[in-house]
């Protein structure tokens, strides 16, 4: 059974939350939506408020997942992140954007490979 794009996205965000937990990120919110876009995951790591864009691919035929994160997308996430920080002044004021790319391992497609790009701006 093949996953729909929506199902794959949901699976990616679930895998991402598990992976980020294992990397000592404290997840405080997810799927924060505004009229200009959304942030997949919001977390605190090393006293930074981190906005995480999750990209998952079921194969690499269209390139690596992180290649889909455009400069425009990064700028939108930053704008939404600044808004989120203003709504939550009690949270750390050092802001950061990370990208978490997920795709099947080349030598074992039944397992997922994670690549975390910190400060992806």
- Listed by start position, the domains of the chain span 5-117
Look at residue 107 in the predicted model and tell me its pLDDT. 82
Other C-beta atoms closer than 10 Å to the C-beta of 9 total: 15
Class level of CATH domain 5-117: alpha beta
Asked whether the predicted pLDDT for residue 1 surpasses 70, the reply is: no
What's the predicted TM-score (pTM) here? 0.93
**Mean pLDDT confidence for 95-104:** 96
The tens digit of pLDDT for each residue in 68-89 reads 999 999 999 999 999 999 999 9
pLDDT tens-digit series, residues 7-54: 888 888 999 999 999 999 999 999 999 999 999 999 999 999 999 999
67-73 long-range contacts (CB < 8 A, ≥24 apart) are 69/99, 69/120, 73/37
pLDDT at 109: 81
Residue 6 has pLDDT above 90, yes or no: no
- What pLDDT was estimated at residue 113? 95
């Amino acid at each position: 059974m093949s996953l729909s794009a929506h199902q794959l996205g949901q699976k990616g965000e679930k895998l991402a939350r598990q992976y980020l937990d294992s990397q000592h990120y404290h997840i405080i919110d997810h799927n924060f939506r505004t009229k200009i876009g959304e942030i997949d995951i919001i977390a605190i790591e090393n006293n930074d408020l981190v906005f995480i864009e999750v990209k998952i691919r079921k194969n690499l035929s269209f390139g690596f997942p992180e290649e889909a994160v455009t400069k425009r997308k990064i700028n939108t996430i930053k704008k939404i992140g600044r808004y989120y920080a203003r709504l939550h002044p009690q949270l750390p004021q050092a802001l950061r954007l990370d990208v978490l790319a997920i795709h099947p391992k080349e030598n074992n497609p039944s397992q997922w490979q994670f690549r975390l790009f910190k400060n992806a701006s």
